[in-house]
Amino acid sequence: MAQNGFKRNVNLDIRVESAQASAALAAQIAADFVNQNPDIVVGVGTVSAQSFLKYAANNRMKMVFSTVTDPLAANLVKALDKPGKNISGVSNFVNLEPQLQLFQILQPKLKRLGFLYNAGEMNSVSDVRKLRILCPKLGITLVEQIANKTSEVPQATAKLASSVDAIFISSDNTALAALQTVIKIANKVKIPVYVTDTDAVELGALAALGANQYQVGLQTGAMIARALNGEDLGSIPVEFPNKTELYINEKSADIIDIIIPDNIKTKAIIIKK
């Protein structure tokens, strides 16, 4: 925002609230924000973005979303090139096939891949549909495990960890909120946890091939500035990450006895702890 002439406490007031991966809390926050009559609202993640949808559709506010995996499936936009409904934003979608291929390089004997997700999150439902098609093509058996609340994650992870070679969490807010619990359980049976969120690698996930979250934030800020300067959000095409980055956690690799190939190390941002 500052790069585009909007400086906090000068010509920009910002209020930040966290829904903590709760759809009910997100709805409360959205209603509260609407009552404050803001110039624009920002929904980070699918759950939060969807909480503002009805207000934007009724012309009560403008909304920019950020890090939404599949804005079409989430019914946030009518089309990626012309979103409509006072809404546009930045997706964090990264193609899943290169991620699966990375997992196979790190684990040549990978046969069963566990996917932990909340069936109530449209972003995760979209991902699992794609994985159901992609995994068989690569000789991988997809094992799905649902955890609809963070309190369900430990039991769901334990069940999954006993029957798979690795666990994959894509952009699921519920699973990511309990990521360290997932990693702790997976470490006990020496299987890796893969993620799409590069920031999550520092928390103990083995690897991520995903968007640079800081850059996604910059793209989002630039779009907000365009809207505040008078552009019609509904006519601004949805944006996607400009590039992907590979992150590897060497300590996690040591814990579960996985050797990172040199050709992967040379391409990666290595996290050592």
pTM of the model: 0.84
The tokens of 131 are what?
């994985």
Question: Architecture of 96-210+245-271 per CATH?
Answer: 3-Layer(aba) Sandwich (3.40)
Q: Do domains 2-92+213-242 and 96-210+245-271 have the same CATH topology?
A: yes
Instruction: Say how many CA atoms lie within 13 Å of 167 toward its Cβ.
Output: 34
| Per-residue model confidence (pLDDT) at position 220 | 97
The domain limits of the chain are 2-92+213-242, 96-210+245-271
* The 63-66 sheet, strands edge to edge: 41-44, 63-66, 87-90
Contact 160, 116 (CB under 8 A): yes
At 141, is the secondary structure helix, strand, or coil? Answer: strand
Mention the CATH class of domain 2-92+213-242: alpha beta
Terminal C-alpha separation, the chain: 33
Q: List the alpha helices (DSSP H) in the chain.
A: 23-35, 46-51, 53-57, 96-106, 122-137, 153-161, 173-177, 179-188, 213-228, 250-255, 262-265
| Per-residue model confidence (pLDDT) at position 23 | 86
| Per-residue model confidence (pLDDT) at position 128 | 96
Dist CA 179 CA 197 (whole Å): 11
Report, as ranges of residue numbers, the positions in the chain whose pLDDT lies below 50. Answer: none
Count other Cβ atoms within 10 Å, centred on residue 74.
21
| Per-residue model confidence (pLDDT) at position 273 | 64
Contact 81, 87 (CB under 8 A): no
| Per-residue model confidence (pLDDT) at position 252 | 96
Rg (CA), the chain: 19
Contacts of residue 263, Cβ cutoff 8 Å, sequence gap at least 6: none
Place of tokens 């019914």: 75
Please name every residue paired with 269 in a beta bridge, in sequence order, or none if there are none: 247
Dist CA 153 CA 172 (whole Å): 12
Angle (nearest 5°) at CA 47 between 168 and 222: 95
